[in-house]
Amino acid sequence: MRRTETEGRGIAWSMAAAMTVTTVFVLSNAPTPLYVSWQREWGFSSGTLTMVFACYMVGLVGSLLVAGRLADRYGRRVVLAPALIAAVLSGLLFLLAQGVAWLLAARLFAGISVGGAVTAGMAAVVDLAPEGRRRIGGLIASASMVLGAGLGPLLAGITARNSDSPQIWVFTLVTTLAVIALGVGLLLPLSHPDRSLPSGEGGPWRWPSPPRNRRRELLWGAATFAPGITATSFVLSLGPSVLAGPLRVGDPLVAGLIACVMFLVATGVQFAVGRLSTRTHLAVSSVAAIASMALLAGAVTVAPVWPLFLTSALLAGAAQGLGQLAGLTLIATRVPHERRAESNAALNIAGYVPAGALPVATGHLADATGLGAAVVVFAVVLGVFAALALPIVRLSTARHPNRSEKRRQKENEMEKNGVEPPEPGSTLVIVAHPDLGSSRVNSAWVRALTEEGGTTVRVLTEERGVDGFDVRAEQRALAAHERIVLQFPFRWYGAPPILAEWLEVALERGWAYGPGGHALEGKELSIAVSTWSRADDYTVDGRYHRVMSELTSPFETIAARVGMRYRPGHFLHGVGDLTDERLADAARDYARWSAGREDGALRRV
């Protein structure tokens, strides 16, 4: 199959996964225009209304605490399917609701559903995107969330204005969509996780967190995503009350339209400025949040008119959209596959906790002091946080330039030194077998690499002379490629000594690390390992009681030390049991993986 056809199918499946995320958020936000009529019909206060919203946050955060880790450990479908079932149950509860208790239960299930969608669902969107288009996958994932969040209120607002029983019509449709999404989720071609490559330390119940060397990036995203989603959460929970109260606009369609347009802006702004750097997205998100809070305070004090509130909501949408895009892009491009859903969970917990706590506190404060005063306090608190985050994140990201900036800097240095810049996507395979001629597997890999093309192969036994390795020749080879693969047989639970010798020479201080050592920053490092033992031997309960990611973790540490991105390795287990035919298939898979043309599936025997 041609690569363009493969990528097209990958994007199509990525869009199908995005449909499940969109449906969950349609359900989540569809109740927004109906709250005022429920409040009037069933007679509950603003504080009770925010408690309904808080129940959603309890389900959401509780789901986030376990969903990401489970999705990385056991597969996306294990989390996504129950999340979509929870969406169906939530829709049925809203459909049959006859009081506040029904709303509390419905919102709890909606929160659980959203927790699964933003972890397993969004990770599935990125996973199904072609390998070279992860940034596009991150954009699709982010847009699918805010698109659904906007369509839900619009659907409910139009129905509420044109029907005497909007509750029945809205949630019959939404529940039907959730059932369809469940069917799509079950059909997605999601891969099974490799249990020998665990998602991190500890069991599946620990607090979600990104890899240690990627926590800085998640903090950048959280510092801008949190104010944005807190602002939009206010519009969803207390926005209808503000419109009906201080602004004297009680039409549910207006509340639905404002929420819809807010999220359409959150979607559109991501496509409009998607080509700008992630650092710019972070900064503009904070600026939008600050401006939104200033206008919100003005809308309930000096100029109580709905257009000012609308403008505040639009800026809130832009703040959430860009903050979310920045955070998801950082996760999609810098966090490995087996920690991606957990990192999504960590980002969303950082955003949804204040998004739930601040509107709830504002609702209770409104019961005591009045809605206008409570809204001003909310706007000041959130605006100050965004104003503090802006310079801190800006200065921090300035000290850590993004990949494209680093690449331009290195290419300029290489041109000055007369070195050819690397070809985009080029791969260098370092073959560290001490006796390649006697090797059945590694020699088959080398032949497949040569036949497949798209890679440069460097056999260390052929490059090492009488006096050892030529330092400058090895460094020129590394500098000329963007992706480095270290290929070796697994001997005594590690790499052959020749690879350690080569690393000592090639990764020279002042070139690869230390003062002035930036030559490898932004490049990708991976390993390709063949083992005589079977895959099941390398599990916690297996023969060696150790997993491959633990035994090969020094290479991930090396990547972090020299500023490279570590890509999970390609492992071929049980090589002694392979027939010639199966070895040939495995070698072709490896060659395509090395060239970046396909994800290399772990081969087990």
How large a percentage of the chain has pLDDT more than 90? 24
Separation of alpha carbons 75 and 78, rounded Å = 6
Range of lowest pLDDT (54-63, 225-234, 337-346, 570-579): 337-346
Calculate what percentage of the chain has a pLDDT beyond 70. Answer: 87
**Phi/psi at 204 (5° precision):** -75, 0
Is 103's pLDDT higher than 50? yes
Give the pLDDT score at 213: 67
Q: Which tokens sit at 502? A: 């080569």
CB atoms < 10 A from the CB of 453, how many? 8
Mean pLDDT score, 174-184:
94
448 has a pLDDT exceeding 60: yes
Kindly state the tokens that stand for 404: 């494209």
Q: Let me know: does 25 contact 209? Beta carbons within 8 Å.
A: no
pLDDT of residue 38: 86
pLDDT of amino acid 205: 56
Question: Model confidence at 415, in pLDDT bands (50, 70, 90)?
Answer: very low
Q: What is the pLDDT of residue 336?
A: 66
User: What integer pLDDT is reported at residue 337 of this predicted model?
Assistant: 64
Query: CA distances (Å), 427 to each of 169, 388, 529, 593, in order?
Result: 56, 42, 17, 10
- DSSP states of 434-451 as a string? TTGGG-SHHHHHHHHHHH
The pLDDT of residue 1 is: 38
Q: What is the pLDDT of residue 57?
A: 82
User: Are the CB atoms for 146 and 49 separated by under 8 Å?
Assistant: no
Q: Give the model confidence (pLDDT) of 154-171 as tens digits.
A: 888 788 778 888 889 999
Q: Which has the higher per-residue pLDDT, 351 or 423?
A: 351
Across the chain, what does the average pLDDT equal? 82
Indicate the range of 7-11, 248-252, 282-286 predicted with least confidence: 7-11
Q: What is the pLDDT of residue 567?
A: 85
**Residue 96 reports pLDDT greater than 90:** yes
Contacts of 49 (CB under 8 A, 6+ apart): 35, 39, 237, 238, 241, 363
Please say if the pLDDT value at position 411 is more than 70: no
The answer to whether residue 85 scores a pLDDT higher than 60 is: yes
pLDDT-derived band at 201 (thresholds 50, 70, 90) equals: very low
Structure confidence at residue 113 (pLDDT): 94
Give per-residue pLDDT as tens, 303-347. Answer: 888 899 999 999 999 999 899 888 888 877 667 666 777 787 888
Q: Minimum mean pLDDT among 360-364, 421-425, 491-495: which range?
A: 421-425
Residues in the chain: 605
The torsion defined by the Cα of 469, 472, 473 and 474, in degrees rounded to 10, comes to 70
Span 237-252, average pLDDT: 82
pTM of the full structure? 0.58
Q: What is the mean pLDDT of residues 231-258?
A: 82
